[in-house]
Amino acid sequence: MKTNLYLFLALLLLLFAGCGKDEPAVDPEPDGPDTPTTENTSTYVPIDWEKTQITKMDMKTGDVTLTFTDKAPEFENGLSLIVLETDTSTYIRRVMNTDVSNKTATLQTVEANMTELFADTEFTLSLAPSAERAPTKSGTASIDANGILHPVRIIEINENNSYRTLYDIHKEIPLTRTEGETGLNISFPEIDNSGKVISASEDGNLALYWDTYKQNFSLNATAHFKFGKAVNEKKITEDLKIKVSELEEFRFTIGAKAQWDMILGASAKGKFKYEENDITIAKGMFKPRVFTFFTPTGIPVIITLGSDLLGDFSADGDAKIEIKGGVNFSGSLTTGIEYKEKKWQPIGEPTFEYQIHPLEITAFANLNMKISAYPKIKIKLYNFLGPAFSPQPFLKDSVKMGMFNEMGSISKDYYGWTEKTYAGVDLQTSIMLDFIGINEELPFPPITFEGLFYNAPDKIELKSPENGLDIQLDKPIEVTFNVTRKLLAADLPIQGVSVKFESPKGKVSQNFLLTDLQGNAKVQWTPTVPNDSLTAKIFDASGEVISQATFKPKEEEEEFSIVGKWWEDGHHNLPEYPILTTPLIPNDNYLEFFPDGTFEYVLNPNKQQLWIGYWNDGTQSGYMIGPLYRVIRGDYTYSGSELKTNATYYYEEWEHDRYDYSGNYVGNGSLFPDDKTGEDHFGGTVKFSNINEMQTPKGHFIRMTEDFNLDDYILKSKSKSFKVLQNTRHLENSGSAKIIIYK
């Protein structure tokens, strides 16, 4: 019976706790073995600040004294929550002790957070006022048809902590706007820091200043909160524990329209290095604004928005230079923070148009520079620091120069420089979690959107004459190349780029030229051999080719090359009997043409014993056996299928034994013919039956390729695409090319 009564009481407590969706909710813990336990439930106490005055407030001690026009509300020590509102700040407080005398309440309070104030509820806020009205316990709220809460009051805080009311739904004060501001956008004051010095390096070698700096920035923002049921336990004192909720979903996003003009000037000399981040360019560039909202149950939600203007600058290099350059950004961006499924993450996307102002540099230099100036938007939830957003537009510029000069040679020489300009936006976000009772800051890696908007030099192209022009050998011709830089999508000419000219056989008037004002480099080129070409190259600082272009005149049809080693397509007779069946083997004679215009012919290079018949008066009368060996060397020309050879060396030896046809030994002989130099031994019209067979008036030859080698009179194929055909002396491939085989 006793257990049933406890269960009934627990269910009754659950019923009361769930009556208000925005109110803190408490779930009981399970019954203990002997004594039932009950968790304390926080209760929000609404206060009408139109009829209440704060006569004392000390947040260090927590002492608060309130004077009410009407009767003071009832407070329950340890369980009552109030939202303490001043003109410029707001605090969530838990009432620990109460002393009420007439219409004055003296309270001793401690800090509380949003997980104590909200449970089992979700709501969305927009910073834009709305005409919608809805009554609540604490007064009139502004809630539209989609359930989104809009501010009922907006104030602007001055430096002396005074304030100006921009909007008040109760007093029917219309929204005070700056010029060009709409109800959906909050405009930041326009900033113009043009001509102002930023800073300088300690050694005096670098000074930075704004040639132009202007900023226009406006934004709107939305916030979404979802709190779960009050199931977590929080210890207030040794004797007091309460149930608190847990943040289940959170999203705070800023949509902004922005325009930045950032043109930086710098004076540098010698070696310099400078880096400084988070420089305050304008403190309080945007006066803090406090937005007050009411939920349907009358609980106030207060958001404060403020911003400073910060800058990041870095530069290093080595030169004496004057620099001016920058970027103009115009467009919109979205940045924010989201918490869902127990995971925090940044969100963001910019949509900008860029107008790049490339650096104007009065001297070549090695330079790396990055500039950025940006608002740091800070959000407070009640008196707690919350999200912070820094949309950082930036410009990065890198100028590099390099060269190499080798004495006595130009093949490796180069002179190069590059300039690359990048522009983009870093969306920096972070959040302090004190508003949900966690003393922690979460910084997130930036979301970076970056593009290469300026690249110099970018490419080189042939300008004149056109490829395929019919030219004359050994006659100079002017060839013009054009070098461009890339600015956004435009190709613009660039001056002062070193262009290197290379030609395999031709001659150039200059190996290097600098481009003129139109980006042109003109050179006199003299071709000396058919099918030559002229190539122009531009290099970066490390000697890598950035781009190259080639002028190719009209090509003459190239003849099939005879350079290489050719086997003579014939056979040797071996000295074996009977005579009529003397074995035949393919010979190993070869004729080789070299690229330098010389040739060599070798007959029977291995000095094989051969069978050769001889004649008397036109009648074959016997045969000879011996190692006939012959070497011819000389030079050759080949053009128009006509081959001419000129022997400059001739050697032949022929020691042999003579036999008649009966096989009787006749005698021994030695033949060493007279010198046959100066003769054309192989000249005439050359014909090709295929890529491997060459016919001349003096013989039929088969090309020796790298796919084959000769070993003990057997030609072995290294290529599996060839196969041996039976009853033939050739190998055959898919192209029907015949290659002789020794077998």
Coil/strand/helix, residue 488: coil
CB 433 within 8 A of CB 414: no
- Mean pLDDT confidence for 664-676: 78
Q: Does 358 share its domain with 231?
A: yes
Token representation of residue 320: 């004496």
Domain boundary among 84, 117, 150: 117
- Dihedral angle computed from the Cα positions of residues 302, 303, 304 and 308, in that order, rounded to the nearest 10 degrees: 170
pLDDT of residue 200: 63
The answer to the question of residue 504 being in a domain is yes
Q: Does 614 share its domain with 684?
A: yes
Q: Does 233 share its domain with 326?
A: yes
Domain boundary among 101, 117, 133: 117
Distances (CA, A) of 344 to 303, 386, 394, 428, 446: 20, 13, 26, 14, 14
pLDDT of residue 495: 85
Q: List, for residues 205-257, the tens digit of each pLDDT value.
A: 666 777 777 777 778 889 999 999 999 999 999 989 999 999 999 999 988 88
382 or 322: which leads in pLDDT: 382
- Judged against a pLDDT cut of 50, whether residue 179 lies above it is answered with no
Coil/strand/helix, residue 446: coil
Average pLDDT, the chain: 77
Least confident of 83-92, 373-382, 395-404: 395-404
∠ CA 415-417-420 to the nearest 5 degrees? 160
- State which H helix or E strand residue 7 sits in: helix 2-17
The answer to the question of residue 389 being in a domain is yes
Token representation of residue 567: 């086997």
The answer to the question of residue 241 being in a domain is yes
- Judged against a pLDDT cut of 60, whether residue 726 lies above it is answered with no
pLDDT of residue 405: 56
Report how many domains make up the chain.
4
- Judged against a pLDDT cut of 50, whether residue 526 lies above it is answered with yes
Instruction: Return the percentage of the chain with pLDDT > 70, whole number.
Output: 73
Domain boundary among 71, 91, 117: 117
CB 460 within 8 A of CB 482: yes
Least confident of 101-110, 304-313, 359-368: 359-368
Reported as a pLDDT band with limits 50, 70 and 90, residue 396 is: confident
Least confident of 407-421, 504-518, 728-742: 728-742
pLDDT of residue 675: 76
The answer to the question of residue 473 being in a domain is yes
Q: List, for residues 123-165, the tens digit of each pLDDT value.
A: 999 988 888 888 777 678 888 888 899 998 888 888 788 888 8
CA distance 102 to 117: 28
pLDDT of residue 743: 28
The answer to the question of residue 151 being in a domain is no
Q: List, for residues 2-17, the tens digit of each pLDDT value.
A: 334 333 334 333 333 3
Q: Which range of residues forms the domain containing residue 496?
A: 458-551
* Residue 143 CA, distance from chain mean position: 45
Least confident of 191-205, 529-543, 605-619: 191-205
- Mean pLDDT confidence for 482-494: 85
Q: Does 282 share its domain with 414?
A: yes
Which CATH number characterizes residue 539's domain?
Answer: 2.60.40.10
Q: Does 540 share its domain with 603?
A: no
pLDDT of residue 174: 57
Residue 452 burial by CB count (10 A; 0-12/13-18/19+): exposed, middle or buried?
middle
Reported as a pLDDT band with limits 50, 70 and 90, residue 721 is: very low
497 or 282: which leads in pLDDT: 497
Least confident of 116-120, 409-413, 597-601, 637-641: 409-413
Token representation of residue 589: 């004679």
- Mean pLDDT confidence for 535-563: 84
pLDDT of residue 33: 39
- Dihedral angle computed from the Cα positions of residues 291, 292, 294 and 295, in that order, rounded to the nearest 10 degrees: 40
CA distance 417 to 413: 14
Q: Does 432 share its domain with 473?
A: no
Q: Does 259 share its domain with 403?
A: yes
The answer to the question of residue 558 being in a domain is no
pLDDT of residue 10: 41
Reported as a pLDDT band with limits 50, 70 and 90, residue 485 is: confident
- Judged against a pLDDT cut of 60, whether residue 740 lies above it is answered with no
